[in-house]
Amino acid sequence: MKNFMNIGLKASAVLFSSAVLFACSNEQDPGLEYAPDMYHSVPLDPYSQIKDNKYNPGGLNMRQPAPGTVARGKQGYNLYLSEDNAEAAGVELKNPLERTSANLGEGKVLYTRYCSPCHGEQGDGQGLVGQKFKGIPAYNAGRVAELPAGHIYHVITNGRGRMMPHGSQVDPTERWKIVMYVQQLQKGETSTTVQDEAAGDTTGTAQTATPNN
């Protein structure tokens, strides 16, 4: 019985040693790759080129976008600006929405919801956040009072300085309505009544940006 146990222990030691050596060896066979679709994407991945793509020119997964298309989540108007910045947008973009009491009223609601916590209900920079974090300018004073519609729209979309982008919170049409109301505040007014509805908005110059861009 004792001899049998010794033989068993020696056999176990040999097997354990072999397993350790096998596990530490750099020459072990990696075996077969099961379910390769789990490692290599079946759909065409534009940033991963495993092999030539027989469907696209040049064998590449990536292709040039169709002319005139706009990538999802991108701003179409950026394609037509000479430079993608607020200054260029201020010169080259015009509010495409008609200046009506309805648009101004909706702009005021949106402004109160998204902008007044910092900029204040009167546009004086004295919202609850503005009182805590100083330095938010008043809309009706200095250089800010002269900012054109396109400049304001670009800042709402992309942010500037300490102001974060709001492009994910308000769609393009809503941004233009906010711009319209901000331009009221630039004049020191909070009214949303347009005396001559047919006059339209004459602010801004150059090209017109479509609301859905």
pLDDT at res. 211: 47
Residue 23 tokens, joined: 């596990």
Mean pLDDT (whole number) for 95-101: 93
Q: What is the helix (H) or strand (E) element at residue 2, kind and residue range?
A: helix 2-24
Residues with Cβ within 8 Å of residue 4, at least 6 apart in sequence: none
User: Of 103, 81, 33, 72, nearest to 167 (Cα)?
Assistant: 72
User: Of 42, 9, 168, nearest to 1 (Cα)?
Assistant: 9
pLDDT tens digit sequence for 8-51: 555 565 555 555 544 555 566 767 777 766 766 667 777 777 77
CA distance 28 to 18: 13
Count Cβ atoms below 10 Å from residue 97 Cβ, excluding itself.
20
CA distance 157 to 164: 9
pLDDT tens digit sequence for 50-94: 777 777 777 877 777 787 777 776 666 666 788 889 999 999 999
Mean pLDDT (whole number) for 193-202: 63
Residues with Cβ within 8 Å of residue 70, at least 6 apart in sequence: 76, 79, 213
Which backbone phi and psi does 207 adopt, to 5 degrees? -70, 160
User: Of 118, 104, 101, 127, nearest to 182 (Cα)?
Assistant: 104
Mean pLDDT, rounded, of the chain:
79
What letter would DSSP give residue 54? S
pLDDT at res. 26: 58
Does residue 3 carry a pLDDT above 60?
Answer: no
CA distance 130 to 132: 5
First to last CA, the chain: 88
Domains of the chain as residue ranges with CATH = 81-208 (1.10.760.10)
Q: Dihedral (C-alpha) 213, 149, 207, 170: value to the nearest 10 degrees?
A: 0
Burial of 145 (0-12, 13-18, 19+ CB in 10 A): middle
Helix-strand-coil percent breakdown of the chain, rounded to 5?
A: 45, 5, 55
What's this model's pTM, rounded to 2 decimal places? 0.62
